[in-house]
Structure 1
Amino acid sequence: MKVDKVRGRVLALMVLLAPCGVLAYPAPVPDPSLPASTVPPAIQDLRRKMNDADVNALTFRDMDQLFTTRTVARSGPVWELPRSDHALDFTYSFKGQRYTADQFLERTYTNALLILKDGRIVSEVYRNNTDAATRLMGWSMTKSITSILIGCAVQEGRIKSLDDRITQYLPELKGGGYDGATIRQVLQMRSGVDYEERYDFANPGIAARNHELALVENVVRFADAARTVKRAHAPGEVWQYKTLDTAVLGWLLERVSGGSTIAAYAAQRLWEPLGAERDGFFIMDGPPGVGREFNGAGFNATPRDYARIGLMMLQDGQANGHQIVPAAWVRESTKATGGPGPGYGYQWWVANDHAFQAIGLQGQYIFVDRATRTVVVKLSYFPPENQEAHDETAAFMAAASAWTPR
């Protein structure tokens, strides 16, 4: 197998497994060193099963029924997206076969699909009892939103330089694996900490344990694992996908925003100026007054509002009459600095030399192609570890980008 194909498979596997793409697993034995969970056992059990193929078409659109949440409030004028609706009259090729765009919807477990060309909605499809008001889980697309917020904090001077060490802002991390890493290295997934993104709950490592204790039982905060994590590599030396890196960036945003929350900062600097039409929300890793936003993979929004994020990025940071982040930040954050396949930027995946995307667990996508002025949002319910659906979606994205509606 060619090296590029191997690297592509590695990329897809990480997308499908992180941050918690696992089949349901039994409740572990309680840790007597930690407080007892106040989450009802039935809710804990549902959280352990939420990714399973027989329920995720529903759970991915109802996260506010499973978790404590924190609202990212919309306010002010909605950024109206003009439209010119067209039938999906194109085909794509996958594994030597040609399929229609309509066939793609069922073949790749689609809840919602939205395509924009030149800032205009040309197709909008909702399935499985979803509609334009349904807020769907973005999973690791949330990492890309965190990157935007870091860009806002740099623009405001809250973060003086990406080359500052993270401990300059979070002294709680001194003496651990993050000591010596710069903000830029954390953004690039080059922190060097020993946090393998592996979720084998039969033999749980640090990531699986953190998922269970923080997101299922809510007895610890997800980012607190950064206090004690060890170092595996020198900062900047090795690229390795880690949701913990993004959680540290969220902690940084809390700190530099003057005691605010990630949700409040996101509402002020992104959601309101973006002209979002509905509130978004983060799932939390604990109850009110204790929990933090799960900013590594916990944001929920409507397909149109995800599309507004993609369109803002396509327009070099401009949205609804506002410059949300500098054009230079958009370009820098979507430029490959490491990772498999075409590469990884500042929490954005690079698709090719003119396209980039936010990708979330089990089939969540904001795809942006500068060359064809295309934005595609796809919210899905892939079965766990479904490599083929991800590969087929990549083929569809290329065809949708090349499509010229008539």
Structure 2
Amino acid sequence: MKKQPTILLSALLAASALAPAPAALAQQALPAPLQGAPASDVPVAVQNLRWMMLDGRVNSLMFRSMDTLFTTRSVPRSGAVWHLPKTEKAMDFTYSFAGKTYKAEEFLERSYTNALLVMKDGRIVSEIYRNASDERTRFMAWSMTKSITSVLVGAALAEGRIRSLDDPIERYLPELKDGGYAGVTIRQILQMRSGVDYEERYDFDKPGTAARNHIAALVKNVARFADAARTIGRVHKPGEVFQYKTIDTAVLGWLIERVSGTTVAAYTAQHLWEPLGAEADGFYIMDGPPGVGREFSGAGFNATLRDFARFGQMMLDGGVANGRRVVSEDWVKLSTAPAGAEDGKRGGYGFQWWTMPGGPAYSAIGLQGQYVFVDPSTRTVVVKLSYFPPEDQTVSEETAAFLAAASQWTPR
């Protein structure tokens, strides 16, 4: 990890060489959406790095350098490591996409892969690291974090910290009683059916609610991400319309913090990371400095490739990790079942998990190509950690084709 800042700087210098040269005295200037009040204590250079972290020229390194860009809170591992047996096999299968057939090995470069792991019935059959990453590298989960938050809600429910999923959220977070979340149940928030007015659109040149919240909380650290829920409006009746929005998961993280009386990171360590038998510490990025910031529970978790695989295998095994119960089997079934009708092409959505069309498979999916794919029908887990360019709209479709083929693959 100590070498990452140097590698990251080299990548950023290379990217800047491709861009028009700025005026001599404007190198530290912030983009227009970052200018103005409130003032931020985050150094201008760091704000600029956070601003460009999704850029396709540097995101391969940015997505595994989050601890150099943000304040973080550790999720320490402890106890015995869950040993994952391994029998390395060549990926001797093909997949079809857009009328063409490709070898599995071709997929790695075609789909901007940093790391890939395939497990069959609990055994690693393929583990690949690329672009100077290795088994110690901790990768940004982005919205795969939402599926982790789902497991934490399941744990809090089992402990009786949450009385019922059908309780209104203001029972636990009275700060939300006067806004769009009033009367919305925990179940509806888990299903992304809160009905609140928060369009998940990140047009930073013309920022809407989501983009402004991202800038304030994650780039400038002048607000807490979940606090936008206090005064948010409502556009749909709760429970009626599925509308993906990270603010819903941020509210769930706030709920975990409130009912547990501790931090999200500490609760994750106690109820997921330690019983999971993780081999490395994870961490969350924070939306502010120590004593002020909260974990970015909607998209901010970081971990190694193998530990993400352990998470997927635990779900495949009905909530059990290496013989130890992590979350109930009922929660696994409930959270990975579609809450409404599935789209024949895109699938559906459960409790912070995406369901795959035409079968029992489901996935945790994160921004720009992060996947924990689980298929109970073939006992397959695939973890893919990527650096999709923001403008490429087809690579996710090709990834779906690869995942389906990997699931049907029988290693020889």
Q: If the length of structure 1 is used for normalisation, what is the TM-score?
A: 0.92
User: Is 1:364 matched up with 2:370?
Assistant: yes
Write the mapping of 1:7-156 to structure 2, written as runs, cut at 5 A.
26-28=31-33, 30-32=35-37, 34=38, 36-156=39-159
- Once residues 47 and 175 of structure 1 are traced to their aligned partners in structure 2, the CA distance between those partners, rounded to angstroms, is 33
Q: Hey, what's the Cα distance between the residues in 2 that align with 1:374 and 1:123?
A: 12
Q: How does 1:82-231 map to 2 (within 5 A)?
A: 82-231=85-234
Does the Cα contact within 8 Å between 1:281 and 1:301 map onto a contact in 2? Answer: yes
Separation (CA, whole Å) in 2 of partners of 1:390 and 1:268: 34
> What amino acid maps onto 2:97 in structure 1?
F
Corresponding residue number in structure 2 for 1:265: 267
1:286 has 2:292 as partner:
no
Separation of aligned partners in 2, 1:159 and 1:320: 27
> C-alpha offsets along residues 21-52 of structure 1, whole Å, 9 cap, x if unaligned?
xxxx92426444x3x21100000001010000
Task: Verify the 8 A CA contact 2:33 2:205 in the aligned structure 1.
Answer: no
Q: Which residue of 1 aligns with 2:380?
A: 374
Q: Does the CA-based 8 Å contact 1:111-1:381 persist in structure 2?
A: yes
- The amino acid that maps onto 2:107 is F
Q: Distance in 2 between matches of 1:362 and 1:320?
A: 31
Q: Which runs of 5+ in 2 are unaligned?
A: 1-29
Q: How many Å apart are 1:385 and its aligned residue?
A: 3.3
Equivalent-residue separation in structure 1 for 2:253 and 2:379 (angstroms): 30
| Paired positions, count | 379
- The secondary structure found in structure 2 opposite 1:28 is helix
Letter in 1 for 2:328: P
CA distance in 2: counterparts of 1:218 and 1:389, whole angstroms: 32
RMSD of the TM alignment (CA)?
1.1
Question: Counterpart of 1:367 in 2: which secondary structure?
Answer: strand
Match status 1:386 vs 2:392: yes
Say if 1:27 and 1:45, in contact at 8 Å, map to a contact too.
Answer: no
| Residue pair 2:34, 2:215 contacting (<8 A) in 1 also | no
Alpha-carbon separation, structure 2, partners of 1:210 and 1:375: 34
- Does the 8 Å contact 2:150/2:351 carry over to 1? yes
Q: Which residue number in structure 2 is paired with residue 21 of structure 1?
A: none
Aligned residue in 2 for 1:305: 307
TM superposition shift of 1:342? 1.7
Distance in 1 between residues matched to 2:215 and 2:322, nearest whole Å: 40
Counterpart-to-counterpart distance in 2, 1:394 and 1:30: 39
Give the match for residue 346 of structure 1: 351
- Alignment counterpart, residue 251 of structure 1, candidates 254, 269, 278: 254
Task: Give the number of the structure with larger relative contact order, counting CA–CA contacts within 8 Å between residues 6 or more apart.
Answer: 1
Letter in 2 for 1:342: G
Q: AA paired with 1:385?
A: E
Q: Following superposition, which runs of at least 4 residues in structure 1 exceed 4 angstroms of deviation? A: none
Distance 1:29 1:78 in 2: 43
Distance 1:397 1:137 in 2: 20
In the alignment, the residues of structure 1 paired with residue 119 and residue 79 of structure 2 have an alpha-carbon distance, to the nearest angstrom, of: 23
Q: Per-residue CA shift, 1:345-393, capped at 9, x if unaligned?
A: 0000001321000000000000000000000000000000322111110
**Cα distance in 2 for residues equivalent to 1:149 and 1:65:** 26
Task: Calculate percent identity across the aligned residue pairs.
Answer: 69
